[in-house]
Chain A
């Protein structure tokens, strides 16, 4: 074999290997989705979704309290996490051109990649220990909010950066005060990005398990009290995954299906929306360019 053919063969093999890596990455995703649907779907019916977990393994158990618990945890966490994250993002993007702004940005980035179990420990240190509440809804929400803040802050900052500077300059030149410029011009124009980031952060915290294990713990009852332990979908899976009872195991797979549906629809919806939007802006830019060239 001559040298040229050898090099071409090597090129083909390398390309094949890269493609094989892509397949190796995608197989687990497809396999997970298929298994969760295959085993989880038979569990789902109205009774399963509306009755509470009992943990006894007798038929008739559901995951209603876990769904409610997850919604409450995510809801309370968003009440804290969304506004704080948004304002942090506004600060970093609009006023953060100094040492303090750089520090905030740096630690937000670090915090965004922190192991969530450590965040659970931090939340435990505050709510369970310092405020003396014990395992509770409020402790769990607080942990989830800490996870949420850097995500929302980073995406808000990014969205604000994408707003053309001319808009800011135009508003300021017209005598609009800076705070009004930020709220009415900058944020209004960045809202698609801000909403996207918020929804993605909600999808992310909905699946968090370890911090809830350390802070919210679990309850087999219908509970909405902020100071009581509360059930959640991820912890329902964790409690039952190893159970010898078929009913409880089935409950885990059913909960997994509901959870993955919630997380993936949110995720895919948002990303598809963004992809479409991006394509649209590209198309608009293109027509402008052609128009300009026509004029010239």
Chain B
């Protein structure tokens, strides 16, 4: 007996070590593989990087005939569509979050959060299809003319509503980022201690005043982080944008003109691109990768513990 015990303990420890090592190597190898792939991607972009240098991000031409490629129109398109998405999507999301966290009767909270999260489950390509045949006519017939009438004198709404433009792409993006921004903001608001609300209420504040003074100001870093996550989704979203943005490689301030984003350019040209053009497309991917990395690390740092609330079923972003 006495001789066997240390022996069995030893073998137990060895199996434990083996199990831990194998589990760790699976986790580590995945991580290593992803970064290896990133390195390979940058290597693939090398041809374009050495050909155009820093001029790539300031170049305005995308011309396969002359083999000259620049990313400026697509960076511009991505910025414009994402900005529209945030301007529309974030206020609506905050409204939803306030309702779900502060106002809704308890029995409706769970089913309603559930339905909002279903919005994230709809595949991106179906958003695009719907936008093309249902949202587009509504935008062209009723919404865009209103903006033209009101703001037609600014360069932003100069032109005729056609419905394949940066405005429509921004609106569909706004709808697509709502589930992310709303659910993370809601988690941030739920994390506000009740003592904050009680203090405001006891001073005679109404519910909306309590929400503004106690909840929104307390949860603002969480809401900010949620918006950054929404930005990340909007920047990288591909299919719905490709199907609505009009796919024209031009820089135009009018939201009613077609444009192109970095992601939609890759999707549109992937099949045919070869040689230098393929390398340039991959370089655009590298730019997108860097933007996504910065945005996500930033969001992670800002929201920290709320991050786990991100719906993991998000449609094809």
CA distance A104 to B31 in the complex (A): 7
CA distance A206 to B125 in the complex (A): 11
Grouping DSSP codes into helix (H, G, I), strand (E, B) and loop, the B interface class, with mixed when no group exceeds half, is helix
CA distance A126 to B177 in the complex (A): 30
Smallest distance from the beta carbon of A22 to chain B beta carbons, Å? 5
Smallest distance from the beta carbon of B226 to chain A beta carbons, Å? 12
**A104 — which chain B residues lie within 8 A by C-beta?**
27-28, 31
**B44 — which chain A residues lie within 8 A by C-beta?**
125, 129
Of the residues B110, B127, B312, contact of A32 by C-beta under 8 Å: B127
- CB-CB under 8 A for A117 and B236, given A11-B209, A32-B126, A90-B23: yes
Q: Which of A113, A123, A178 has the most CB of B within 10 A?
A: A113
Interface residue? A291 (CB, 8 A): no
Interface residue? B49 (CB, 8 A): no
- Once the chains bind, are A113 and B310 in contact (CB under 8 Å)? yes
- Once the chains bind, are B232 and A113 in contact (CB under 8 Å)? yes
**A123 — which chain B residues lie within 8 A by C-beta?**
37
Q: Which of A21, A112, A158 has the most CB of B within 10 A?
A: A21
- Once the chains bind, are B239 and A238 in contact (CB under 8 Å)? yes
**B296 — which chain A residues lie within 8 A by C-beta?**
109-110, 113-114
- Once the chains bind, are A116 and B38 in contact (CB under 8 Å)? no
Contact with A along B186-219 (1 / 0, CB 8 A): 0000000000000000000011110100000000
Interface residue? B112 (CB, 8 A): yes
CA distance A94 to B23 in the complex (A): 10
- Once the chains bind, are A178 and B285 in contact (CB under 8 Å)? no
CA distance A107 to B41 in the complex (A): 18
Q: Which of A110, A118, A260, A263 has the most CB of B within 10 A?
A: A118
Interface residue? B143 (CB, 8 A): no
**B266 — which chain A residues lie within 8 A by C-beta?**
117, 121, 214
| A255-281 at interface with B (beta carbon < 8 Å) | 256, 259-260, 263-264, 267-268, 271, 275
6 contacts between A and B (CB under 8 A): A15-B208, A146-B34, A153-B27, A208-B123, A253-B129, A275-B114
**A84 — which chain B residues lie within 8 A by C-beta?**
26, 30
**A26 — which chain B residues lie within 8 A by C-beta?**
115-116, 119
Smallest distance from the beta carbon of A114 to chain B beta carbons, Å? 6
Interface residue? B85 (CB, 8 A): no
List the 8 closest A-B pairs by CB distance, nearest first. Answer: A115-B236, A21-B95, A207-B123, A179-B19, A14-B208, A210-B238, A11-B206, A18-B99
Of the residues B31, B117, B263, contact of A210 by C-beta under 8 Å: B263
**B22 — which chain A residues lie within 8 A by C-beta?**
87
**A10 — which chain B residues lie within 8 A by C-beta?**
206, 208
Q: A122-B38, A179-B15, A241-B128 are known; give 10 further A-B pairs, CB within 8 A.
A: A11-B208, A15-B207, A25-B182, A113-B310, A118-B236, A118-B285, A121-B282, A177-B16, A238-B125, A264-B122
- CB-CB under 8 A for A28 and B292, given A22-B112, A111-B34, A116-B316: no
Interface residue? B146 (CB, 8 A): no
Smallest distance from the beta carbon of B101 to chain A beta carbons, Å? 10
CA distance A88 to B132 in the complex (A): 40
**B20 — which chain A residues lie within 8 A by C-beta?**
95, 178-179
